[in-house]
């Protein structure tokens, strides 16, 4: 049994749980394996995870892969990898098993076929023989008459003769759920009571004519059979909830499930530039983008938690464990939340500075390898140099892929001055500065940060009467190839005497060319 992260069960918990024991909470994350995970999907996962961990309940990972044309094994593997990278663990799922296995819908077709047959037999569903052309024609006629254009129930009460006639034409029916002639209310934990009039709730398709079950059937059936108690999902799915409630009621009537219906909480939309909905096709929504840039799981999840929820007291920085302890779904803000990349970077930078330097160094390695700064198998000396240099850049980075530009000079061989930035800095005017710096550094007895600083200040600031900006700028470009780098004197100590003097020699030669 999972231990809850809080012992609190107060009024807010009573509103959320009703008569349910906290440990009986069961929530699910049920993505379709199509494309790469996006930040909206991860935010939903995070809120479900925090909800389950808050109460000591169960977090179920379920794959909804019934769309043969769009689903892929590659996307499924990518989803598993993403959640493991984020460290959002689950209690039941396709890779860990559980009492309601299998957790991939593609392996549950017999379950759905049985449920569909029982719904049909009980009269809760019926076969519809309408062709697409006939449906379109009747919808157009309804719109022209100013009436709702959903399905008009044409096949609800077909006679035996009508059915035989359709079959004689070779028509194959879809299966539709028979919706009640009444308003349907949803007690949403985020939005309050949402009611949909009967005129706007139409009999919808559960199973295609080829026998393939649709999301409209498999999602509620799995929620019922897997005893899901709470469904936390995006606001864009709110319109389908009344239909799912009716199907849940039907499933209990035919004995497929028992117990109370799931409670729903619809999370606010995430918007991007121009306050437009951040869709999975938007490049800035891809989780992989943020992994490649070097966001930390801690930093990214911390920021995503703020998209619609807060700890209170204006607190913005918190761990997963702290979030789970404080999480209250009734405090989720129903208004759209804007994804602000700069804010995400700032929070990630805070987490970079929170980590021990050696851990930051370890996390930088893959990014330095991708950038070609480190080889695929770094030597012990290279790793030791990286650990020594990490404190110089840890306070200055917001994401890990900035490390290549900041630290590349320490591991580089050859020409560092092939950029316009370097060319502009290494001119005949800077040659006297570089020569004086070279002479002062070559005379040092001990190669330490303080002695390097003292020597350069004496030679360039005192003797040449240069301002520090003009004194140290050319030296910085000469040894790092950049106008902006980690602290100069510490960098020179790490680079070493021989490499520093060699770079100054090369820069002096270049500035005189």
332, 342, 334, 335: which is closest to 273 by C-alpha?
342
Give me 468's structure tokens.
Answer: 């520090």
Rounded CA-CA distance 233/342 in Å is: 26
Choosing from 147, 276, 280, 467, which is the catalytic residue? 280
In the block, residue with structure tokens 């490499």? 499
Question: What count of Cα atoms within 13 Å lies in the side-chain half-sphere of residue 231?
Answer: 29
- 54 in Cβ contact with 324 (< 8 Å): yes
What phi, psi does 415 have (nearest 5°)?
A: -70, 125
In the block, residue with structure tokens 């840039």? 293
Spell out the alpha helix ranges (H) of 355-467: 357-370, 380-394, 403-411, 420-425, 431-442, 449-456
Rg of the Cα trace of the chain? 31
| CA 80 from centre of chain | 12
Peptide bond into 400 cis (omega under 30): no
280 in active site:
yes
Task: Dihedral sign for Cα 284, 289, 295, 299, please.
Answer: positive
Catalytic positions:
280
């Amino acid at each position: 049994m999972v231990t809850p992260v809080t012992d609190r069960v107060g009024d807010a918990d009573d509103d959320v749980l009703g008569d349910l024991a906290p440990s009986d909470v069961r929530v699910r994350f049920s993505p379709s394996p199509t494309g790469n995970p996006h930040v909206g999907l991860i935010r939903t996962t995070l809120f479900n995870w925090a909800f389950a961990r808050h109460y000591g309940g169960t977090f179920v990972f379920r794959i909804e892969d019934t769309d043969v044309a769009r689903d892929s094994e590659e996307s499924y593997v990518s989803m598993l990898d993403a959640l493991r990278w984020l460290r959002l663990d689950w209690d039941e799922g396709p890779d860990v098993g559980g009492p309601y296995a299998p957790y991939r819908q593609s392996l549950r077709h017999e379950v759905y076929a049985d449920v569909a047959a029982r719904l049909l037999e009980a009269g809760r569903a019926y076969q519809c023989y309408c062709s697409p052309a006939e449906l379109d024609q009747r919808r157009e006629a309804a719109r022209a008459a100013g009436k709702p254009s959903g399905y008009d129930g044409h096949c609800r009460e077909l006679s035996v003769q009508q059915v035989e006639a359709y079959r004689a034409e070779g028509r194959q029916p879809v299966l539709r759920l028979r919706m009640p002639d009444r308003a349907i209310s949803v007690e949403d934990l985020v939005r309050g009571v949402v009611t949909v009039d009967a005129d706007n709730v139409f009999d919808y398709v559960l199973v295609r004519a080829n026998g393939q079950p649709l999301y409209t059937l498999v999602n509620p059936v799995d929620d019922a059979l897997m005893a899901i108690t709470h469904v936390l999902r995006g606001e864009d799915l709110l319109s389908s909830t009344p239909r799912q409630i009716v199907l849940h009621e039907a499933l209990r009537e035919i004995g497929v499930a028992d117990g109370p219906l799931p409670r729903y909480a619809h999370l606010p939309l995430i918007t991007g530039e121009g306050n437009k909905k951040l869709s999975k096709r938007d490049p800035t929504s891809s989780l992989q983008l943020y992994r490649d840039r070097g966001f930390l799981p801690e930093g990214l999840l911390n920021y995503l938690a703020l998209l619609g929820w807060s700890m209170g007291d204006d607190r913005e920085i918190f761990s997963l464990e702290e979030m789970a302890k404080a999480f209250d779904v009734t405090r989720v803000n129903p208004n759209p939340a804007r994804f602000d990349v700069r804010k995400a970077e700032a929070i990630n930078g805070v987490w970079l500075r929170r980590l021990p330097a050696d851990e930051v160094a370890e996390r930088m390695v893959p990014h330095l390898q991708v950038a070609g700064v480190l080889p695929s198998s770094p030597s012990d000396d290279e790793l030791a140099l990286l650990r020594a240099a990490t404190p110089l850049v840890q306070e200055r980075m917001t994401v890990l892929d900035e490390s290549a530009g900041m630290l590349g000079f320490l591991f580089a061989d050859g020409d560092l001055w092939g950029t316009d930035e370097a060319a502009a800095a290494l001119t005949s005017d800077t040659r006297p500065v570089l020569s004086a710096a070279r002479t002062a550094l070559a005379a040092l007895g001990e190669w330490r940060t303080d002695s390097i600083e003292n020597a350069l200040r004496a030679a360039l600031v005192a003797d040449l009467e240069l301002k520090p900006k003009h004194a140290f700028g050319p030296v910085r470009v000469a040894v790092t190839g950049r106008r902006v780098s980690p602290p100069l004197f510490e960098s020179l100590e790490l680079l070493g005497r021989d490499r520093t003097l060699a770079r100054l020699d090369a820069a002096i030669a270049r500035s005189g060319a």
